[in-house]
Amino acid sequence: MKGKISIIFFMFVLSLLLVACSDSDETGGESSSGGDGNSEEKVTLDFWVFGQFGFDGLVEKYNEENPNVEVNLQLQESEDMHNNLFTSLSAGSGAPDISMIEIAYIPQFREAQDHFYNLYDYGADDVKNNFLDWAWKNAESPEGDYMIALPTDIGPTAMYYRTDIFEEAGLPSNPDEVAELISTWDDYVEVARTIKSETGTNITDSPELLFNAVRDQAPEQYFNEDNELIIETSPYVKEAYDFATGLIQEGLVGQNELWTPEWGNAMSEGTSATLLAASWMVGRVKENAPDAAGNWAITTLPEGAGNWGGSFISIPKQSEYPEEAYEFISWLTSPEQLLEAFNVAGIFPSTPGVYEDEDFLSKSDEYFSGTKTASVFADAAQKVEPVFIGKDTPIVHNELVTALINVASADGDPEEEWNNAVERIKDQLARN
Partner 1 sequence: MHSGGKGFTFSKLFIYIILIAGSVISLFPFYWMFVIATNHTSAINKVPPAILPGKELVTNFQNVLAKIDFFGAMLNSLIISSLVTIGVLFICSLAGFAFAKLNFRGKEFLFIFILVTMMIPPQLGLIPQYYIITQLGWLNELKAVVVPGLIDAFGIFWMRQYVKGSVPDELLEAAKIDGCSYFRIYWNIVCPVILPAFATLAIIRFMYVWNDFLWPLVVLRDTTSHTIQIAIRTLVDNYVQDYGMILSGTFWATVPLILVFLIFNRFFIESLTQGAIKS
Partner 2 sequence: MGNKGDYSVIKTTINTNSSAQIKTKRYFSESFKESFVGYLYVSPFFILFGIFGLFPILFSFYLGFQKWNGLNEMEFVGLNNYKLIYSDPVFWKAIYNTIIIGFLGCFPILVFSIILAFILNSAFVRLKSIFRVSLFMPYVTSTVAVAIVFGVIFSNMEFGIANLTFSWFGFEPIKWQVGEWAVKIAIACMVLWRWVGYNVIIFIAGLQSIPIELYEAATIDGATTRQQLFYITVPLLKPVIIFTVFLSTVGSLQLFTEPLIFLGRNAREEGITAVLYLWREAFNNMAFGTASAAAVTLFFIIIIVSFINYLITNRISS
Least distance CB 208 / partner 2 (angstroms):
10
Least distance CB 238 / partner 1 (angstroms):
31
When binding is defined by CB under 8 A, the residue of 11, 15, 25, 57 that contacts partner 1 is 25
Q: Which does 156 bind (CB under 5 to 8 A by kind): partner 2, partner 1, none?
A: none
Least distance CB 60 / partner 1 (angstroms):
16
By beta-carbon proximity to partner 2, the closer residue of 41 and 431 is: 431
Q: How far apart are the first and last CA of the chain?
A: 59
Binding string, residues 387-406; x marks residues near partner 2 by CB under 8 A: ----xx-xx--x--xx--xx
3-state secondary structure of 414: helix
Binding string, residues 129-148; x marks residues near partner 1 by CB under 8 A: --------------------
Binders in 242-301 for partner 1, by CB under 8 A: 261-262, 264-265, 267-268, 280, 283-284, 287-291
Q: Which does 111 bind (CB under 5 to 8 A by kind): partner 2, partner 1, none?
A: partner 2
By 3-state DSSP, what share of the chain in percent is helix, strand and coil, each rounded to 5? Answer: 55, 15, 30
CA distance 74 to 44: 12
CA distance 283 to 373: 12
Residues touching partner 1: how many (CB under 8 A)?
57
Q: Is 166 in the site for partner 1 (CB under 8 A)?
A: no
CA distances from 158 to 12, 18, 209 (A): 65, 56, 11
Angle (deg, nearest 10), helices 322-332 and 55-65: 130
Binders in 297-336 for partner 2, by CB under 8 A: none
Question: What is the identity of the amino acid at 71?
Answer: V
Report DSSP state, residue 234.
S
CA distance 159 to 180: 13
3-state secondary structure of 349: strand
Binding string, residues 35-74; x marks residues near partner 1 by CB under 8 A: -------------x-xxx---------------------x
CA distances from 183 to 9, 11, 179, 296 (A): 80, 77, 6, 19
CA distances from 396 to 77, 182, 402, 403 (A): 25, 30, 10, 11
Radius of gyration of the chain (CA): 25
By beta-carbon proximity to partner 1, the closer residue of 56 and 187 is: 56
Least distance CB 159 / partner 2 (angstroms):
25
Report DSSP state, residue 386.
P
Q: What is the DSSP track for 32-101?
A: TS---SSSTT-EEEEEEE-S--SHHHHHHHHHHH-TTEEEEEEE--HHHHHHHHHHHHHHTS---SEEEE
Q: Is 432 in the site for partner 2 (CB under 8 A)?
A: yes
By beta-carbon proximity to partner 1, the closer residue of 63 and 76 is: 76
When binding is defined by CB under 8 A, the residue of 8, 16, 20, 112 that contacts partner 2 is 112
Binders in 348-407 for partner 1, by CB under 8 A: none
Note whether 48 and 98 are within 8 A (CB). yes
By beta-carbon proximity to partner 2, the closer residue of 91 and 366 is: 91
Q: Which does 264 bind (CB under 5 to 8 A by kind): partner 2, partner 1, none?
A: partner 1
CA distance 94 to 113: 17
CA nearest neighbour of 217 among 306, 341, 316 = 306
Q: What is the DSSP track for 353-386?
A: GGGG-HHHHT--BTTTTTB-HHHHHHHHHHHPPP
Binding string, residues 294-313; x marks residues near partner 1 by CB under 8 A: ---------------x----
Binding string, residues 73-102; x marks residues near partner 2 by CB under 8 A: ----------x--x--xx------------
Residue ranges that bind partner 1, judged by CB under 8 A: 1-3, 5-6, 9-10, 13, 17-18, 20-22, 24-25, 27-29, 31-32, 48, 50-52, 74-78, 80, 83-84, 87-88, 90-94, 102, 261-262, 264-265, 267-268, 280, 283-284, 287-291, 309, 346-347
**Residues lying near partner 2 in the complex (CB under 8 A):** 3, 6-7, 10, 14, 83, 86, 89-90, 108-109, 111-112, 115, 255, 257, 260-262, 391-392, 394-395, 398, 401-402, 405-406, 409-410, 424, 427-428, 430-432
